[in-house]
């Protein structure tokens, strides 16, 4: 049977009219409503002090997601002069300050899983949605029509259209990994977090004040990107702290 018809028949709406409902627990709502405050919000916290720009998170993300439920992720012209492809995570490099006192800052960037995600309400098909249970923003690849409007509505450039599949793709926070009971407990975190050799990436629930991410944000002054647009990104960054020893001597 066609999948959407099956979904419709299994929806709580259909069960309600169909007489005897076998499940007495309230139906689980998958999609968060616009502007809804969620009890749980999974997120990454990225420590700019220790990121060394090794790109291990980029490659491990690509490896996991191209072979997992979000993939395959296209690689066009992979062995040519100008290879291009779909990635959920990029590490950029910035230089701050005036020479000789410059700071080289490696800056990993992926979907920030905004609490008020502007990409979700603009989607005409409902393929883009925010999960009510943990705040992860996802794309249903079977419903996406590839109109690219959600990418226009994301100020961070977090979404990439897969050129081969012609659907919008983005970071899933490794949703197919973090809940997998078949994996050992320690492995139930995003691939990028596991791959980071310097522990620059922390993963957890920012709504739980006792979580490692909440503590890091509180203790280290974690901040959000582009706060001016009120998207309330769930991902936070820990600012670079320059220790007294590392500080360059004042020019005489």
Contacts with other proteins, residue ranges (CB under 8 A): 34, 48, 55, 58, 77, 81-87, 90-98, 103-105, 107, 109, 118, 120-127, 143-149, 151-157, 159-161, 163, 165-167, 223-229, 237, 239-240
Minimum CB–partner distance for residue 21 and other proteins (Å): 25
Residue 42 β-bridge partners: 205
Residue 167 β-bridge partners: 162
Return phi, psi of residue 157, to 5°: 65, 40
Shorter beta-carbon distance to other proteins: residue 58 or 178: 58
Minimum CB–partner distance for residue 227 and other proteins (Å): 7
Minimum CB–partner distance for residue 149 and other proteins (Å): 5
Shorter beta-carbon distance to other proteins: residue 16 or 101: 101
User: Which residues, at least 6 apart from 204, have a Cβ–Cβ distance to it below 8 Å?
Assistant: 42, 43, 45, 211, 212, 213, 214
Minimum CB–partner distance for residue 102 and other proteins (Å): 8
Minimum CB–partner distance for residue 243 and other proteins (Å): 17
Nearest to 171 by CA among 113, 130, 131: 113
Shorter beta-carbon distance to other proteins: residue 66 or 188: 66
Q: How far apart are CA 232 and CA 117, in angstroms?
A: 8
Shorter beta-carbon distance to other proteins: residue 161 or 188: 161
Shorter beta-carbon distance to other proteins: residue 110 or 194: 110
Torsion, CA 213, CA 202, CA 30, CA 88, rounded to 10: 140
The secondary structure element, H or E, covering residue 4 is helix 3-10
- CA 140 to chain CA centroid, Å, is 15
């Amino acid at each position: 049977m066609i999948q959407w018809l099956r979904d419709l028949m299994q929806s709580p709406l259909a069960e309600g009219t169909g007489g005897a409902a076998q499940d007495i627990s309230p139906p689980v709502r998958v999609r968060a409503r616009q502007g809804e405050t969620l009890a749980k919000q999974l997120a990454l916290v990225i420590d700019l002090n220790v990121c060394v720009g090794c790109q291990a998170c980029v490659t491990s993300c690509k490896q996991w997601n191209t072979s997992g439920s979000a993939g395959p992720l296209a690689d066009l012209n992979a062995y040519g002069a100008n290879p291009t492809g779909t990635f959920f995570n990029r590490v950029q490099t910035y230089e701050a300050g005036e020479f000789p006192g410059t700071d080289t800052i490696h800056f990993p960037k992926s979907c920030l899983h905004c609490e008020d995600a502007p990409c979700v309400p603009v989607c005409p098909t409902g393929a883009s949605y925010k999960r009510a249970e943990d705040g992860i923003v996802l794309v249903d690849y079977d419903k996406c029509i590839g109109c690219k409007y959600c990418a226009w509505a994301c100020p961070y450039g977090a979404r990439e259209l897969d050129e081969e599949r012609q659907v919008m793709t983005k970071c899933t926070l490794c949703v197919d990994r973090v809940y997998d009971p078949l994996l050992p407990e320690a492995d139930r975190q995003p691939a990028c977090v596991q791959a980071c050799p310097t522990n620059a990436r922390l993963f957890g629930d920012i709504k739980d004040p006792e979580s490692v991410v909440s503590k890091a944000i509180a203790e280290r002054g974690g901040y959000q990107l582009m706060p001016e647009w009120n998207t309330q990104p769930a991902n936070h960054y820990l600012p670079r702290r320059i220790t007294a020893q590392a500080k360059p001597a004042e020019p005489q």
